[in-house]
Chains A and B, each alone.
Chain A
Amino acid sequence: MAASGIAATPPGSPPSSPPGPASPPPGLRVIAPPRQGTRSWPLIDRLGYWACWAAGISLCAIAIAIVVYMFVQGLSALSLHLLVTSPAATLQQSQSGGFLDPLEGTFVITAVGIAIAAPLGVAIAVWLSEYGNDSPLARAVESAIEMIAGVPSVVLAIFGLLVFSQSFLGFLSESTSSGNATGKSFLTAGAIMALLALPLVVAATREGLAQLPGRMREASFGLGKTRATTIRHVLLPSVRSNVAEGVVLGMGRIIGDTAIIVILLGGTLKTEPAGNVPVLGLLRGTGSTLTNYVYYNSPAGEGNSHEKAYAAAFVLMIIVLVLNFAVVRIAAGRRRSDDIGGSWWRLAGGRGLIRTLRPAQEPRT
């Protein structure tokens, strides 16, 4: 064929021509659009405009105030000692210890909650967008998720206490002398926490799946792959960053919740395992988290030690800020990166973080 000679050059290589000037010559007048003022507007419009402006500025001011205040108060109260000692039940401030246990509790409860919410949420999202086909059942599932997302966490917590104190669910917590279960443990609180994170994971995953072009599925079906294979090997790997984003958002929800902790984690500041089995004992036992600790030590609580409350709140804020930062990085990474063949870690902002630390390094090609 005549064209085969031409085709030897790799297609897509741009034609080589000398580059033209990068900016117009100095003599040329550059016309900029006139700056729009509000002077010519009617008074009511101007008032509205300035009200919007003021609202935005005050929100910024509040955000900055929170961060600065917590920074100053928290950082001055925070010490390594607080981070590595367990709380003790005494009114003597100097002996009431630090918040090692609540810090651990925060991580444990988040892990339990996400371990339940992530697989469940992804499964629900996949079913809704790949199998549901807007059937009545799919719409019912959607409404149910929206409802759970709207229920205040304290209501979920009370419901959880009701369910998990049934005697046949005693293996999740400790049994009381009357034969019922206490219903209070890392497992029960984590299970209810999962309900908080679930809608976020579902929403993020569904959004990702909805954005995948139909031709990606078609391509896989056209190769004789089943729907299940397509989901497992093409669709899910493509929405990993969405799943990661949903999971991180869910973690933020779990870490920040207090009501469920107060009602379902037992209200003991120290982590108190049930029984001697290493991991299971911890999970069945009671404890506390940072939110709980802040409440307890705030002027409203019993501990009445503001300094420690500020220090714990500061640590809590740092954790949540890091999570928010991770969400932003994941979303930005998804927009920028077309390389979805990597690991979960790379997608979960790992590569973005590395690139931030070493901006000079070229991205992998």
Chain B
Amino acid sequence: MTAPRVASGRASDARSRLFTFLDRRAGRLESRSHAAAGRIAAPTARLLAAYRSALSRDEWRAAIVSEIRPHPILAYLHEDPFSSHGFRKPRGYEGDAVLLDFVYGGGASSVWVENATPLGAALYRECVRHPSFAALRARRDYLGVELAASCAAARRPEILSVACGHLREATVLHGKRSDALPGRLVALDQDPETLATAQADHASLPLDARQISVLALLRGDQQLGQFDFIYLAGLYDYLSDDTARRLTRQLTDMLKPGGRLLTANMLPDLPAAAYMEAVMDWWLIYRTLAEFETLSLDLGPGYRVASHTGPYVGYVNIEKERAR
């Protein structure tokens, strides 16, 4: 394979280490069983990350197209149903709810995992154990804790989940007494199939699932009312700064006095970012906590903003102050 014109010795070294590893692993997979190939996904992720960090963004995109995707290892890596789903984008967009079910385990991903090849199943297990994807499970768990806390803090609160996906964090509310549930749980998503799954899987909750696009939400066309708690899991990972700022303003306008908006964004040090981009064609907009906080700078008085980080995820919590 012809080496791309890379500017630095660091890039050249990283490229050499990556392709030496990929060539050897692809060779072993071709000639022997998958068990003989050893661990593949995690070392690939680490070597891809090193190569990505040595290139400019444009060089990285070019390297993906010209040398990483054509490598024979990709066909093996795509036997993992999770990586393959990310790459194929069967719903027509990145990061759909089924992809996250692969990370969480079970749900809509089960049928794909059960039908995977032995290599695909092994790669899937290796992939989702990676700390980057453990971080997504931690984010779901944290949002679940916050959701339950909101239900405990107010009687029958009104809650809005934006780009709700399969709403897996709401599983923490299953089996709760009715006075510990939201009075109204409005779940918005652009994908009707996703909403149908959310409704079926949370039948015991007072779910008001609505197919509403981010554009419609940004325009304020919808009369959704006001909420005690609004949250988003992964949407900001896809929005530009300008759009995320607009959405923050729009959503804070929908808070009741004393209500709060909780948003999350993946941090730039996510170790699997290069793997996600090169192997899964899954591109996020990573923000440092400082960059993430700037999205709420133009809110003006009347809001309290606090931020913190979890594993590879930043959180910004915006509370609308009560009138004095």
Q: Do A and B come from one complex?
A: no
Residues in B lying within 8 Å of A, measured CB to CB: none
